[in-house]
Amino acid sequence: MKFISTRKDPAETSFKDVIFRGLAPDGGLYLATEQPNLSDLISTFSGETEFSAMAAELTHALFPEDFTLEQATAIAKSAFTFSPRISRADGNIDLLELYHGPSCAFKDFGASFLAAVMEHFLFGENKRAIILTATSGDTGAAVAQAFFGKENIDVVVLYPGGRVSPGQERQLTTLGDNVHALEVRGSFDDCQRMVKEAFTNKNLKEEFPLTSANSINLGRLLPQSFYYIWASVQGRGSPIRFCVPSGNFGNLTAGALAKLWGMDAEGFIAATNANDVVPEYLEHGIYTPRPSIHTYANAMDVGNPSNFERLQTLFSHREMGDLISGFVVTDDEIIATMERYYKKQGVFICPHTACGILSSERYLKAHPGWNGRIISLSTAHPAKFTEVCQKACGKTPEVPAPLARAINGEKKSTIIGNQMRDLGIFLRETLGR
Ligand SMILES: *Cc1c(COP(=O)(O)O)cnc(C)c1O
């Protein structure tokens, strides 16, 4: 597999360069020059195939020139010490639980794979890497966990001060060691812009081996396709549609790629919170990025989704409309859905998952004759959002062990301004050589 920027630069790039660069030099995002057909391989998988074994085979099939099956198996085993699970939600809706990893959110899948692949490439070369990542909550936690303690790698996480939940902040700030948490006086969009500017800044790039672990990094995006394929194999027999709670649209893009590779699925439902630029585009064909709005589903508070550029490169407006149905969920509806779900099922769901559940229900209502099943992605453990659970259900869920460890740790962070030069100063003072 070779990769090319979504913008002008026609140079074909290897997977190794793609994962260490993150963003393409022309500011674009990388995509494969052509999408492979993996339907033969996928048809050999059964409901019994273990997730990490499936991930190993898919990794080898995607990158035969980079990883032997043996190497791919070692990477998958090191990355995926946890698996997705499927549970019945209600009626024709299943939940794909993606929160059984170390940070209790789906981003563990991408971050752990990226960390394992980078370690593989850096191994023996005595090279160093600095992972620079902006987070609205869950990315940073997953990346911090995945890279924590890795040799020759530092992680710098930028997050908007006061805009992530206390639990998320603990996960970012209590690890220490090679994980540096920067509390930015600004919004998530500021954090994302600072990271983007750092990657296109010549001086910084010459001084530091900067690399990204955001959903712009294909090394994080591609392994997310694996759980779609795993779930489609579990759900074989009826038409499937995936519902994806979306912010930067990395998760949905990963699903769309899996479908291009031959995964059996009819299409996708994009569930957003009040940050509705993509549903608006699907409906009217006009894409209007705007500042993000703060909501209860804060990992989806994105006003200019970075992966939209990939979707637009892959699909025309009409194709995207055929593939994806968009639904918008307000804060009041998030609370009402969490409450209703808890009362009916006795189970807590996180606010992002609630956007997915309500959107799935709306899709079914709008398509009464459809005889398929919706697999709705459950993107984070509800215990990461105790305040919202308390408000919606009057109770809070039990805290899983990895979260409990973070909550009991000591917060260590550095407060910085919202300009790229503030980030540059931090890098020179802390990681300069
Ligand atoms: C990141 C995140 C999302 C949004 O995923 P994107 O790939 O940015 O669209 C949804 N839910 C949770 C819990 C997340 O952490």
Give the residue with greater pLDDT, 125 vs 415.
Answer: 415
**Mean pLDDT across the stretch 321-331?**
98
Judge whether residue 84 has pLDDT over 90: yes
Question: Measured at the alpha carbon of residue 415, what is the angle toward residues 27 and 412, in degrees to the nearest 5?
Answer: 110
| Alpha-carbon distances of 178 from 88, 278, 303, rounded to whole Å | 40, 36, 31
How high is the pLDDT of residue 370? 94
Judge whether residue 314 has pLDDT over 90: yes
Report which ligand 1 atom has the smallest distance to the Cα of 353.
Answer: 11
Judge whether residue 137 has pLDDT over 80: no
Q: What is the mean pLDDT of the chain?
A: 94
- Please give the distance, rounded to the nearest whole angstrom, from the Cα atom of residue 224 to the centre of ligand 1: 12
Half-sphere exposure of 125 toward its Cβ, with a 13 Å CA cutoff? 11
Contact 349, 335 (CB under 8 A): no
- Please give the distance, rounded to the nearest whole angstrom, from the Cα atom of residue 137 to the centre of ligand 1: 9
How high is the pLDDT of residue 237? 87
How high is the pLDDT of residue 116? 94
Question: Is the shortest distance between the CB of 248 and ligand 1 below 6 Å?
Answer: yes
Quick one: pLDDT band at residue 124, thresholds 50, 70, 90? Answer: low
**Mean pLDDT across the stretch 57-73?**
97
Cα(270)–Cα(417) distance, integer angstroms: 33
Cα(305)–Cα(189) distance, integer angstroms: 10
- Please give the distance, rounded to the nearest whole angstrom, from the Cα atom of residue 202 to the centre of ligand 1: 30
Helix 107-122 to helix 69-79 angle, to the nearest 10 degrees? Answer: 130
Question: Is the shortest distance between the CB of 108 and ligand 1 below 6 Å?
Answer: no
Identify which of 222, 352, 381, 403 to mutate to test ligand 1's pocket (most ligand atoms within 8 A of the CB).
352
**Mean pLDDT across the stretch 134-162?**
88
| Alpha-carbon distances of 383 from 88, 214, 244, 400, rounded to whole Å | 20, 23, 20, 7
Cα(425)–Cα(198) distance, integer angstroms: 12
> Counting beta carbons within 10 angstroms of the beta carbon of residue 356, is it exposed (0 to 12), middle (13 to 18) or buried (19 or more)?
buried
How high is the pLDDT of residue 406? 82
Contact 305, 311 (CB under 8 A): no
pLDDT in tens, 276-299: 999 999 999 999 999 999 999 988
pLDDT in tens, 98-114: 999 998 999 999 999 99
Question: Is the shortest distance between the CB of 101 and ligand 1 below 6 Å?
Answer: no
Report which ligand 1 atom has the smallest distance to the Cα of 251.
Answer: 7
**Mean pLDDT across the stretch 193-216?**
88
**Mean pLDDT across the stretch 353-368?**
97
- Please give the distance, rounded to the nearest whole angstrom, from the Cα atom of residue 428 to the centre of ligand 1: 31
Look up residue 354 and give its amino acid. A
- Please give the distance, rounded to the nearest whole angstrom, from the Cα atom of residue 251 to the centre of ligand 1: 7
Cα(386)–Cα(233) distance, integer angstroms: 33
**Mean pLDDT across the stretch 111-132?**
89
How high is the pLDDT of residue 236? 87
Least confident of 162-176, 235-249, 286-300: 162-176
Question: Is the shortest distance between the CB of 19 and ligand 1 below 6 Å?
Answer: no
Q: Whose CA is nearest to atom 1 of ligand 1?
A: 299
How high is the pLDDT of residue 196? 87
Q: Where are the alpha helices (DSSP H) in 165-211?
A: 166-173, 188-200, 202-207
- Please give the distance, rounded to the nearest whole angstrom, from the Cα atom of residue 65 to the centre of ligand 1: 31
Contact 224, 109 (CB under 8 A): yes
pTM: 0.91
Quick one: pLDDT band at residue 135, thresholds 50, 70, 90? Answer: confident
Q: Where are the alpha helices (DSSP H) in 46-95?
A: 51-62, 69-79
Give the residue with greater pLDDT, 299 vs 318.
Answer: 318
Question: Is the shortest distance between the CB of 134 and ligand 1 below 6 Å?
Answer: no
Query: What residues have CB less than 8 Å from 345, skipping those under 6 apart?
Result: 89, 90
- Please give the distance, rounded to the nearest whole angstrom, from the Cα atom of residue 246 to the centre of ligand 1: 6
Question: Is the shortest distance between the CB of 247 and ligand 1 below 6 Å?
Answer: yes
Least confident of 171-175, 351-355, 372-376: 171-175
User: 23: closest CA among 203, 224, 197?
Assistant: 197
Identify which of 145, 163, 191, 248 to mutate to test ligand 1's pocket (most ligand atoms within 8 A of the CB).
248
**Mean pLDDT across the stretch 358-387?**
95
Question: Is the shortest distance between the CB of 380 and ligand 1 below 6 Å?
Answer: yes
How high is the pLDDT of residue 140? 84
Judge whether residue 215 has pLDDT over 80: no
Question: Measured at the alpha carbon of residue 132, what is the angle toward residues 356 and 196, in degrees to the nearest 5?
Answer: 80
